[in-house]
A = this chain, B = another copy of it.
Amino acid sequence: MTTPTLLVLDAEPPPRLGRLTGRVRIEHADESTLAERLPHADVLLVWDFTSHAVRKAWPGAGPRPRWVHTASAGVDHLMCPELAASDTVVTNARGVFDQPIAEYVAALVLALAKDLPRTLEFQRERTWRHRETRKVAGTRAVVVGSGPIGRAIDRTLGALDVTTALVGRTRRDGVHGPEDLDRLIARADWVIAAAPLTEQTRGMFDSRRFGVMQPSACFINVGRGPLVVEEALAEALRRRWITAAALDVFASEPLDPASPLWEVPGLIVSPHMSGDTVGWRDELAQQFIQLYERWEAGQPLVNVVDKQRGYVPGH
Binding site for B on A (CB under 8 A): 99-100, 103-104, 106-108, 110-111, 113-114, 116-117, 119-120, 122-123, 126-137, 156, 159-160, 253-255, 257, 259, 262, 268-273, 276-280
Q: A103-B137, A134-B278 are in contact. List 12 more A-B contacts (CB 8 A).
A: A103-B136, A104-B114, A107-B107, A111-B111, A120-B268, A122-B271, A126-B259, A126-B262, A130-B273, A130-B276, A132-B277, A132-B278
Give the distance in Å from the alpha carbon of A298 to the alpha carbon of B272 in the complex. Answer: 62
Give the distance in Å from the alpha carbon of A280 to the alpha carbon of B269 in the complex. Answer: 31
Give the distance in Å from the alpha carbon of A145 to the alpha carbon of B240 in the complex. Answer: 41
Give the distance in Å from the alpha carbon of A257 to the alpha carbon of B127 in the complex. Answer: 7
Give the distance in Å from the alpha carbon of A103 to the alpha carbon of B133 in the complex. Answer: 11
Query: How far is the CB of A82 from the nearest CB of chain B, in Å?
Result: 31
Contact of A123 among B127, B130, B262 (CB under 8 A): B262
Nearest chain-B residue to A281 (Cβ)? B132
Query: How far is the CB of A216 from the nearest CB of chain B, in Å?
Result: 10
A110 x B113 contact (CB < 8 A): no
The 27 sampled A-B contact pairs (Cβ below 8 Å) are: A99-B137, A100-B133, A104-B114, A106-B160, A107-B107, A107-B113, A107-B116, A110-B110, A110-B111, A111-B116, A119-B271, A120-B268, A123-B270, A128-B253, A128-B257, A129-B271, A130-B273, A130-B276, A131-B273, A131-B276, A132-B276, A132-B279, A132-B280, A133-B276, A133-B278, A135-B278, A159-B160
A117: which B residues are within 8 A, CB to CB? 120
Give the distance in Å from the alpha carbon of A106 to the alpha carbon of B110 in the complex. Answer: 8
B99 x A272 contact (CB < 8 A): no
